[in-house]
Structure 1
Amino acid sequence: MNYLDEFKKFLSSHYLSTGVRLTFGAVIPSLIFHHFGILSEMIAFPLGTLLIGSTDNPGPFHRRRNALMIAILACFAVACITGFLRHVHFIVFAEIIVFGLFFSLIGVYGNRANSIGLIAMLVFVFNIDDHLSGDAVLRNALIFSAGGIWYLLLFLIIQTLRPYLLIQQLLGENFVELGKLLSIKAGYYFAKPKYDDLFTQMIHQQVILRENHETLREIIFKTRELVTESTNKSRILMLMFLDSIDLFERILNSQQNYANLHRAFDDTKVLRLFGTYITWLAGDIQQIGLAIQSGFPSHSRHDLDEAYNKCQSAFERTRRDRMTHENMEDYIMLRQILNSLQDITERIKKLHRATTYDASLSKDYHVDFGVDNFIPKQEYQPQTLIDNLSLKSSHFRHALRVTLALLIGYTASLFFDFGHGYWILLTVVTIMKPAFSITKQRNLYRIAGTIIGAVSGFLILYFINDGTALFILMMVAMVLAYTFIKINYFVASISITLYVLLWFNILNPAHITAVLQDRVIDTVIGSVIAYFVSSYVLPVWEHSQINQYIKEAIKSNRKYFDTVAAKFAGRALDVNEMKINRKDAIIALANLSDNFQKMLSEPKRRQLKMEEYHQFVATSHMLTSYIASLSTYAQNNAHTGYAVEFELMIRQIDRQFQAAADVLGGTIQGNLDITRESLPQNQKLIELLNTRKKQIKEIGIELSAQSPERKALSELKTINGLFELISTITIDEIKILQKIVATKG
């Protein structure tokens, strides 16, 4: 995607709209208070708007609304308790322990609860500082809550006026990221592809798409207007989301043996032509995403039918000139790629039309599956919290680390004069995350961003004296801060520091130099505390959790395979069950990949068995792709005349899956006989393949192309090949797991 398209995506993203909403929600009342000369007394109002608004994560309307109301009540209670008792230091220590543990531990209930806990901790930190008088505690708590209520009203108004805005923004972003995935895929078709780099990029992109899909599923399937009270627009949005899932599977299942492809066709132009066309398709998918976000129809930048016909002509020409009975299987593989491109092309053409919201597309629309099975489950039972009160829980360990870091920071602020000592605690709360890799990254970004922001603020205040210009710059910094807070913490840190300094300059310009110094010093101290506590106090290293993610990947891939493969053994295919198992397999793969990526950011001494784990992640990716490819044929034509042959293969592969799980669980050690067993051969297919080769040899390619066996052979050969690849991959996983277990022992 070019820079113009990236800029368009940014302008229509929900990140920017969130930043603008929070900024104007805080600035508008501030201007009113400033006009009446009461801004300094009412400063808690815009602060309440910003903090309560920060808990407004994407999700279904009712969950967002409920989260905002809970945040308002929780923050009011924390502000009152903390404000009235902040002069009694031993009680503040007790509050740090209670609030630190509780508000960090509620992250077990998901991101929304985690956001409420984080904001409640920030309110606690603000109110233990002595900048408020004792008599003003209740008043300031009420003003803060009023700011939160103002944001809640703003949210309700926008939701009423633009009920589908968030869905369009997230769905558009989903298509943009999907286009990027296909663009990465195109890299395999050009000369001398860097397989490792492309694989790493694909894994990263799949993690992003998994997160997008989970958020969209929750919003779309929990929005009554889309599922039951649907309008034409809501039906089209639902259809586009479902099409995006199918398109993602289609891209995923186009995995090929690219080394063999290049060996067979590098001296022709056909692969480069395919790669160029795939890049065009990727660009079209991204254009569709931008159109959904902006609300305008999308149009293809190329004539896709003409481009596809060129690919098909190139394939037919190459086949006519070069195919023999010996290399026939290479052309079967190339034909399957061409079929996949045709399918993706038709889907993209349909999606272009969908961006016009043509009523005819949704005329016969209805939800024919149980949507509850596709929604991420989140339980809010108290027992969940109680069960996590153990050192075995990574959430509880994180809560202990946060609490200890806060105790150290608060003690330091009592014994040393840091000016704005509460900034130390703010740094600790915002930086520390359960994963060491994320804490480390945010630590670096926080320090670097604070220093750059402070220097930028000093230069701006030194060279610009115009109050209006400074106010505009402050608003721009606020928008950037709350736009990038969840996508680029480095930019957010720079922007937060800048707007805080400009804000302090408006309130009290005489002390701005001291504020600059305090901001940098307090941030560095807080970052140092956060780093050492995260590194040495009950750390949870990713290698201690990866085996659980591997177990889930094996389990979900097996369920996905069994559901799909059943059709080839003559049993009925439950499409809804297949889609659920597909979702679970992709989520398990993304979780495993994400865990491995976090391991790369940990200290070298903690990066155990990295080569073996990398190999397993790679094989899991290929395994899911091959099963997805198999599912395409299961939904179309399963060739039930070969049920006996396929049943033998299915049983063998199931035994291999079980062996992999047993090795990981420690119930099987040493060499396994199953790794030396060959997959049962499909004798009927071998006979058909020999017949086809004989036809080509005797009557030539042109005449034999009319043979009815050609298409059946092409599909059967591919299906059989997929079973063989799945078997080979599972055996490879068994061998990799044997190395992991042996090394662990």
Structure 2
Amino acid sequence: MNYLNEFRKFISSHYLYTGVRLTLGAVIPCLIFHHYGILSDLIAFPLGTLLIGTTDNPGPLHRRRNSLMIAIVTCFAVACITGYLRHIHFLAFFEIVIFGMFFSLVGVYGNRANSVGLIALLVFVFNIDNHMSGDAVLRNALIFSAGGIWYLILFLVLQKIRPYKLIQQLLGENFVELGKLLSVKAGYYFAKPDYDELFNQMIHQQVILRENHETLREILFKTRQIVTESTNTSRILMLMFLDSVDLMERILNSQQNYSNLHRAFDHSKILRLFGTYITWLAAELQEIGLSVQSGFPSKPRHDLDEAFNKCQRTFDSIRERSMTHENVEDFIMLRQILNSLQDITERVKKLHRATRYDSELSKEYNINVEIDDFTTKQEYSPRILLDSLSLKSSHFRHAVRVTLGLMIGFLVSLFFSVGHGYWILLTIVTIMKPAFSITKQRNLYRIAGTIVGAFAGFLTLYLIKDDTVIFVIMMLAMISAYSFLKINYFVASIGITLYVLLWFNFLNPEHITAVLQDRVIDTVIGSIIAYFVSSYILPVWEHTQINQYMKAALDANRKYFDNVSQIFTGVQLDINELKLHRKEAIIAMANLSDNFQRMLSEPKKQQVKMEEHHQFVATSHMLTSYIASLSTYAQTVGQSYLSDEFKPMIRQIDRQFESAIQLIDKEENASVDIIKESLPQNQKLLDLLSARKKEIKEMGIEKSAQSPARKALSDFKTINGLFELISTITIDEIKILQKIAIGKV
């Protein structure tokens, strides 16, 4: 890991930007109120700013604005209802059931609605334990809402001043992660690669990139300013995003049989040269990402033209010395890698220019896709919520667990002396997530972060007596807390605990020791409750859901394959449809990988048939890569290699997909006899290969290199080979699904 790059990435990221915005949004009013001696009376104001501000997830301006307004209104209503009824304990249980179920279930409407629901539950928790008079309830609710409105105004003003900032930050992060993906790819070319570890790293990067692409698509395609505005900046940003999607496909479709490559070329050192050059390209992509984030033009780190020419010369030299009619297929594979490197090199050079917002480059801006097809459509029909009222729904099960956890926590706070009892409920609400693996991880991070934060708070107050220094530390803790909230919950928990303790020290210094003890004890109690409820109350284990992800991956890959393969039979290319199927295949693959990764964090007894599921994830990744490679040829030379001999191959591969899907659906008529059938041979390819070997044998390498048959054979063999690989992989998936279905190892 390049720690300097990671630091630069964080410093210019939207995570730090958000942390600073939230911190200043809360602290500036506090300083003003403190100056006038009214801070203790208006403490709900900064609390409203912080809570409402955490619902502000990246996305289009109108969605962010609307979610903030909905959060303000919802939290005001919850604060009033809870405040007026909190002294009637039996009604509090009804509130827990209603609020716990409803605000957990709204997660069916997506992450933005889920954030609003979570904050509404936190407001409920804050007010259920507060001991204010009835007349102060409305006043505090209004003050809290005023804090939320203040954040809304701050957000709108900053958005007006820097409308492209969030897009630049997300786009820059996307290029950094693309660079990491390419860096992992370089590992396949060095000596003795660890294929399993490299594959796991590839999967991890693809999950990250899928999330980045989805967020960027939503912002870019649903923001009228970006889509229709003709400013140079907006055009360049859109162009860079579209190039990043194509670049990711190019990286994925460069999949090769690396074992054969090392067997054939390890002695020549050319693979190590390729690996080094790919590492350089990865470094260039990361530099581009960091420059886009910071808003400054990027500067190339290496002379890419000279480096690529060296790769080209080495390849030519080895081919001249070593290629024979027997190993021509190995050199075809090496040539494909060189072509991919050339394409990626040109793309990287173009992106370097784009960071300078070159007006000439922006003239290439052209959206040739249907925007509505490439954005997530979120429905808000009540029917969706009603349909989730079933034990088959993971959202409903999660809502039941949250509600029961809150009930237990509330009872503990009533019958035991636990100080700030609402901290127990806060811990339960913030830790519990629909997936057990995420709940488990956040549980550990919350306990460890609270203990470390409490210790840091104790040392700060014990060693430092200057209030100004303590205030600065509190500010830094707040920035850390809200900067790391989405990326490292352990660090965020440390920051939250530290700044809460220092905040209480300013408000009520004589009781700070009790506060410190209560914070640790209440957090541990809440974590224990959350763990047991998540483990034993209607748990949703990942192995019970993986079938739907496997089927989605198969369906998406089949549609992608059908769309790409038909081009070689004479069907007209529809670039919009092709890109749509590519997007769906990559998303389905990333979702499947994400599900498998969560399964790894579950108890061992719930990790059912892990080896087979891991094999299926790996083959799905390879399948998408091979189809993406076929897509590249379809778009560039597809019309030059039309052949009726591809039709029976396509039909057989489709039958293989169908058999795999039937196995997942456990259909009684599922037929697996297809795995015994050989893929039809392509006679045209056999004739070309025979002619090329004859040329090499009779004319020699140098003279035959100029033959028109060389290029035709290289492309045609690659295309046919991809059909064969896709067929082989789908047969492998059928065999894996058979093992899963009947429990064989």
After TM superposition, the score normalised by the length of structure 2 is 0.99
Post-superposition offset of 1:670 = 8.3
- Could you tell me which residue of structure 2 aligns to residue 10 of structure 1? 10
1:238 correspondence with 2:223: no
1:352-382 deviations in Å (ceiling 9; x for gaps): 0011101111225332221110001211111
Larger deviation: 634-643 or 393-402? 634-643
- Could you tell me which residue of structure 1 aligns to residue 395 of structure 2? 395
Q: Determine helix, strand or coil for the equivalent of 1:629.
A: helix
Which letter maps to 2:268? Answer: T
1:207 & 1:640 partners in 2: Cα distance? 35
Q: 1:235 to 1:142 in 2, by over 3 A?
A: same
2:474 & 2:5 partners in 1: Cα distance? 27
Name segments (4+ residues, structure 1) moved above 3 Å.
639-642, 668-671
1:701 correspondence with 2:710: no
1:217 & 1:359 partners in 2: Cα distance? 23
Which letter maps to 1:440? Answer: K
- Could you tell me which residue of structure 2 aligns to residue 284 of structure 1? 284
1:540 & 1:195 partners in 2: Cα distance? 31
Q: Is the 8 A contact 1:642 1:684 kept in 2?
A: no
- Could you tell me which residue of structure 2 aligns to residue 320 of structure 1? 320
Which letter maps to 1:189? Answer: Y
- Could you tell me which residue of structure 2 aligns to residue 354 of structure 1? 354
Which letter maps to 1:721? Answer: G
Q: Is the 8 A contact 1:225 1:231 kept in 2?
A: no
2:741 & 2:218 partners in 1: Cα distance? 38
Post-superposition offset of 1:186 = 0.2
1:222 & 1:743 partners in 2: Cα distance? 46
- Could you tell me which residue of structure 1 aligns to residue 450 of structure 2? 450
Q: 1:670 to 1:53 in 2, by over 3 A?
A: closer
Aligned 1:8-157 pairs, distance under 5 A: 8-157=8-157
Aligned 1:372-451 pairs, distance under 5 A: 372-451=372-451
2:581 & 2:366 partners in 1: Cα distance? 22
Aligned 1:722-741 pairs, distance under 5 A: 722-741=722-741
- Could you tell me which residue of structure 1 aligns to residue 616 of structure 2? 616
Q: Is the 8 A contact 2:368 2:576 kept in 1?
A: no
- Could you tell me which residue of structure 1 aligns to residue 476 of structure 2? 476
1:385 & 1:531 partners in 2: Cα distance? 26
1:473-507 deviations in Å (ceiling 9; x for gaps): 00000000000001000000011000000000000
1:298-339 deviations in Å (ceiling 9; x for gaps): 121000000000001111111111111101100000000000
After TM superposition, the score normalised by the length of structure 1 is 0.99
- Could you tell me which residue of structure 2 aligns to residue 274 of structure 1? 274
Q: Determine helix, strand or coil for the equivalent of 1:573.
A: coil
Q: Is the 8 A contact 1:74 1:120 kept in 2?
A: yes
Post-superposition offset of 1:226 = 1.0
Q: 1:487 to 1:22 in 2, by over 3 A?
A: same
1:545-566 deviations in Å (ceiling 9; x for gaps): 0000000000000000000001
Post-superposition offset of 1:669 = 7.0
- Could you tell me which residue of structure 2 aligns to residue 169 of structure 1? 169
Post-superposition offset of 1:662 = 1.1
1:230 & 1:85 partners in 2: Cα distance? 55
Post-superposition offset of 1:642 = 4.3
Q: Is the 8 A contact 2:641 2:716 kept in 1?
A: no
Q: Determine helix, strand or coil for the equivalent of 2:510.
A: helix
2:508 & 2:468 partners in 1: Cα distance? 16
- Could you tell me which residue of structure 2 aligns to residue 712 of structure 1? 712
1:695 & 1:601 partners in 2: Cα distance? 57
Q: 1:641 to 1:28 in 2, by over 3 A?
A: closer
1:641 & 1:73 partners in 2: Cα distance? 61
- Could you tell me which residue of structure 1 aligns to residue 597 of structure 2? 597
Which letter maps to 2:76? Answer: F
Which letter maps to 1:353? Answer: R
Which letter maps to 1:665? Answer: D
- Could you tell me which residue of structure 1 aligns to residue 339 of structure 2? 339
Q: Determine helix, strand or coil for the equivalent of 1:477.
A: helix
- Could you tell me which residue of structure 1 aligns to residue 199 of structure 2? 199
Q: Which runs of 5+ in 2 are unaligned?
A: none
1:174 & 1:526 partners in 2: Cα distance? 36
1:364 & 1:730 partners in 2: Cα distance? 39
1:675 & 1:448 partners in 2: Cα distance? 52
- Could you tell me which residue of structure 2 aligns to residue 588 of structure 1? 588
1:534 & 1:743 partners in 2: Cα distance? 28
Q: Is the 8 A contact 2:662 2:670 kept in 1?
A: no
1:559-610 deviations in Å (ceiling 9; x for gaps): 0000000111111111110000000000000000000000000000000010
- Could you tell me which residue of structure 2 aligns to residue 263 of structure 1? 263
1:213 correspondence with 2:245: no
Aligned 1:518-533 pairs, distance under 5 A: 518-533=518-533
Q: Is the 8 A contact 1:569 1:640 kept in 2?
A: no
1:496 correspondence with 2:496: yes
2:52 & 2:376 partners in 1: Cα distance? 24
1:281 & 1:399 partners in 2: Cα distance? 47
1:653 & 1:407 partners in 2: Cα distance? 54
Amino-acid identity (%): 76
1:641 & 1:520 partners in 2: Cα distance? 69
Post-superposition offset of 1:672 = 2.3
1:296 & 1:229 partners in 2: Cα distance? 22
Aligned 1:493-642 pairs, distance under 5 A: 493-638=493-638, 640=640, 642=642
- Could you tell me which residue of structure 2 aligns to residue 367 of structure 1? 367
Which letter maps to 1:371? Answer: I
2:742 & 2:376 partners in 1: Cα distance? 36
Which letter maps to 2:550? Answer: I
1:141-181 deviations in Å (ceiling 9; x for gaps): 00000000000000000000000000000000000000000
2:365 & 2:440 partners in 1: Cα distance? 48
Post-superposition offset of 1:133 = 2.6
Post-superposition offset of 1:191 = 0.3
- Could you tell me which residue of structure 2 aligns to residue 676 of structure 1? 676
1:535 & 1:461 partners in 2: Cα distance? 38
Q: Determine helix, strand or coil for the equivalent of 1:359.
A: coil
1:137 & 1:198 partners in 2: Cα distance? 57
